[in-house]
Amino acid sequence: MSEPSFSFHTEVRVRLPETDAMGIVFHGNFFTYLEVGRVDYLRNLGLTEGNRPIRDFENVVVSAHLDFASPARLDDPLVIEVRVAEIKSSSFRFDFRLRQRQENRIVATGYTTHCAIDEAFQPMPVPEAFRAIVARFEGWE
């Protein structure tokens, strides 16, 4: 089975407060790295506005999952690969792969699933404009 392809990546460097007593990145901090990757992906596609990660609609994370393969340590450069794997009627999923850049070693893989919501925090259809921009970038067309 072939690995999924990622057309976008960004990078972070592990900082001291992100590490634990063993000198490795505390597992909860990886979700911050996913957020960095997701927002950079959306910014790259021109979908952000001000402090809003998606300018045209609100969304909430309904699921987040990570599998850890190897440790990340202080000052490690981490490449965060990001893709939108699917868009359903009211939800969409980002896939992530984090690599230690110098060793090209996989550190973690995972995903976050988001639900588009209206002003009453109820699910709503993912807007067509968002779908079209993502589809074009991901090569689904």
Does pLDDT of 1 surpass 70?
no
Domain-located, residue 1:
no
Buried b (16+ CB within 10 A) or exposed e, 80-119: bbbbbeebeebbbbbbbbbbbeeeeebbbbbbbbbbbbee
pLDDT tier at 121, thresholds 50, 70, 90: very high
pLDDT tier at 141, thresholds 50, 70, 90: confident
Domain-located, residue 126:
yes
Residue range 44-63: mean pLDDT, rounded = 95
Total count of residues recorded for the chain: 141
pLDDT tens for each residue of 100-111: 999 999 999 999
Domain-located, residue 2:
no
Domain-located, residue 3:
no
Domain-located, residue 25:
yes
CATH, residue 108: 3.10.129.10
